[in-house]
Amino acid sequence: MVLEIFVGLFVEQMLSAGLGQGRGALTKRREANALVDETMARVREELPEGPDANSIIDALSRQLRAPAADLPHLPAQPLEALRLQLEPLLVQPFTDGRDTGAQILDRLGLDLDRLVAMTHSALLASARQLVLEQGGLPEFVRQGFEQWVRDQLAEIRRHLVAGNGASGAVDTLVGPPELMVGRQEELARLEQLSVQPEGTGGSSVVLTLHGMGGVGKTTLASAFAARISERFPDGRLWVDFHGFTPGEEPRSTDDVLAGLLRQVGHPPDVQTRNLAEKSELWRAWLADRAVLLVLDNALSEHRVEPLLPGASSRSLVLVTSRKRLDGLGTRRSVDVDTFSTAAAISLLRRYLPDHGEHPSDEPLTEISELCGHLPLALCAVGPLLDTVQPADLIDRMHRAAYPLQDLDDAERPVRAAFEVSYQHLGHRQQQSMRLCGAHPGPDFDAASLAALWGIQRSDAAVRIAELRKYSLLVTVDHVGRRFAVHDLFLPYVRELAAV
């Protein structure tokens, strides 16, 4: 019953967005057309037989299929949106070329209002039927529906928080991800680690998320922040440090602090204070408050430290970085690894077209492997499955010099993710990276690198540790301390090694 009410409301939303265009709900024209056909059948039942009914149905059906983008704006009310969409019917040329829509409607004993009302209830009934009678929600509706439910819940939560007297609290969190697969274990671990220490004294918590570029740190952080946000009524703040963003300079702590202080109500001239003063003001504001602060994409401990709360705060800080921020001294840290095969397959399945036979897990497992289970690569390769058969994609990826070669939409972001990390390494670490690329693989330990490089084993071990700190090596065997360059990064490392 609750589902039915939600679905009813959701369908209303789709209608108000012009058959879902613009809200990404009815993204697939095929389903949208099926909805229109079903609706037309219902409207036709209401009309007397005859040529007038046929021409109005034809015109109505054409008009409903017209892109909603043609409308000057999309009103919030479904009926009003529909009225706007159908208004041109009154003047547009009809099949017989003589009568206007208004005249035909008149002969049928209808006017535009009546036609809008009939169409609206027919659309609603058809969409409900489509949603509820297909043995569950069809994929195209489900995605839009889930997002819509999340939006509604976030809205309700905001009202509740406001009702608790916390209205006016700053909230700059980015919303939870539209699409998220897997990560149940990581979310559970974060939940555990986020519990604030009991007792007297300080209770603020600093949590860190580490992992290689494109592995899903930001996605996980936004999902987790949305989950726990109501525990922080005094403010929920999201900062992107752009530490490793291709094409962006990392933001300075000073700049970030000035922005945060202004957001929480300090006057603009706070910018003129020096870094230490800003940091003090910030800590003073956080003291005794419960604030959720997400510091995404941080470059180093050094840039984050001045933003951390003092002992008396009840705040939680979640920091994400490609670099392990061991220097922050927090033991509450989660490594974000590449996807499990199950999560990767589940992601790829989202991209398969609805029509035709659905492939077994086998080819999807192979594509996941070719993408190194890296979310960034899977999200970029996945859309190809809409038109390319999995077997053809596999063949193409196998025949290339490396799997992503010339798959531009995938290669560009993955290459950029590697290159930015590489650029942030010191001279010696860059050299180590290139030397790792020269190892014949598939994996190595300190001893084999030492032999290859002609250095002491202990030196090789330290160099490995430095690269791991920047998430540039994958751990193949924790106990045996064996590592590798991620498959997708290897071609780029080898390119550098060859220079």
Ligand X SMILES: Nc1ncnc2c1ncn2[C@@H]1O[C@H](COP(=O)(O)OP(=O)(O)OP(=O)(O)O)[C@@H](O)[C@H]1O
For residue 296, the minimal CB distance to Mg ion (Å) is 6
Instruction: Answer with the entry of Mg ion, ligand X, none that 244 interacts with (C-beta below 5 to 8 A by kind).
Output: ligand X
3-state secondary structure of 143: helix
Contact 343, 181 (CB under 8 A): yes
Strand order of the sheet with strand 316-321? 170-171, 235-240, 291-296, 316-321, 205-210, 333-335
E strands of 93-149, at which residues? none
Under rule CB under 5 A, residue 219 binds Mg ion: no
Among 56, 367, 379, 384, binds ligand X (CB under 6 A): 379
Instruction: Find where tokens 């699409």 sit.
Output: 179
Q: Whose Cβ is closer to ligand X: residue 78's or residue 250's?
A: 250
> How much is the CA Rg of the chain, to the nearest whole Å?
28
Q: Binder to ligand X among 19, 181, 348, 493 (CB under 6 A)?
A: 181
Is 384 an interacting residue with respect to ligand X (CB under 6 A)?
A: no
Least distance to ligand X from the beta carbon of 417, Å? 5
In the complex, minimum distance from the CB of residue 30 to ligand X, in angstroms, rounded to a whole number: 24
By DSSP bridging, strand 170-171 and strand 316-321 are unpaired
For the segment 158-217, give every residue that binds Mg ion (CB under 5 A).
217
Q: Which is it for the CA torsion 348, 363, 486, 336, positive or negative? A: positive
Residue matched to tokens 């003001």: 281
Distance, first Cα to last Cα, the chain = 65
**Chosen from ligand X, Mg ion, none, partner binding at 179 (C-beta under 5 to 8 Å by type):** ligand X
Residues 197 and 200: their CA atoms lie apart, in Å, by: 9
CA distance 246 to 352: 30
Residue 237's DSSP bridge partners are: 293
Contacts of residue 267, defined as CB under 8 A and 6 or more positions apart, other chains included, come to: none
Q: Which of the ranges 208-216, 263-271, 362-370, 404-412 carries the binding residues for ligand X, by CB under 6 A?
A: 208-216
Q: Rounded to an integer, what distance in angstroms lies between the CA atom of residue 212 and that of residue 375?
A: 11
Stretch that binds ligand X, among 27-35, 190-198, 215-223, 229-237 (CB under 6 A): 215-223
Residue 414 binding ligand X, by CB under 6 A: no
Closer CB to ligand X, 19 or 414, in the complex: 414
Paired tokens of 184 = 């149940």
Q: Which of 23, 120, 210, 217 binds ligand X (CB under 6 A)?
A: 217
Looking at 309, 363, 375, 403, which residue binds ligand X (CB under 6 A)? Answer: 375
To Mg ion, the closest distance from the beta carbon of 468 in angstroms equals 19
The single residue among 23, 278, 322, 424 that binds ligand X, judged by CB under 6 A, is 322
Looking at the Cβ atoms of 146 and 459, the one nearer to ligand X is 146
**147 binding ligand X? (CB under 6 A):** no
- Residues 255-314 touching Mg ion, rule: CB under 5 A, are 297
**How many Å separate Cα 67 from the centre of its chain?**
26
Task: Tell me: does residue 244 bind ligand X (CB under 6 A).
Answer: yes
Dmax (CA) of the chain: 95
- The partner in contact with residue 183, picked from Mg ion, ligand X, none with C-beta cut-offs of 5 to 8 angstroms by kind, is ligand X
Cβ at position 456, least distance to ligand X in Å? 32
Q: Tokens at residue 419, please?
A: 């290159």
Beta strand 291-296 pairing with 333-335 = unpaired
* Token output for 338: 């590449």
183 counts as binding ligand X under rule CB under 6 A: yes
Which residues ranging from 254 to 313 are in contact with ligand X (CB under 6 A)?
297
Q: Is 437 in the site for ligand X (CB under 6 A)?
A: no
Residue with the shortest CB distance to Mg ion: 218
Q: What are phi and psi of 171, to 5 degrees?
A: -140, 105
Helices (H), 237-288: 253-263, 275-286
Interacting stretch for ligand X, rule CB under 6 A, among 120-128, 268-276, 373-381, 453-461?
Answer: 373-381
Q: Which of 208, 218, 279, 368 binds Mg ion (CB under 5 A)?
A: 218
* Residue 102: contacted member of ligand X, Mg ion, none (CB under 5 to 8 Å, by partner type): none
Q: Enumerate binding residues for ligand X (CB under 6 A).
A: 179-183, 211, 213-219, 244, 297, 322, 347, 375-376, 379, 417
Q: Enumerate binding residues for Mg ion (CB under 5 A).
A: 217-218, 297
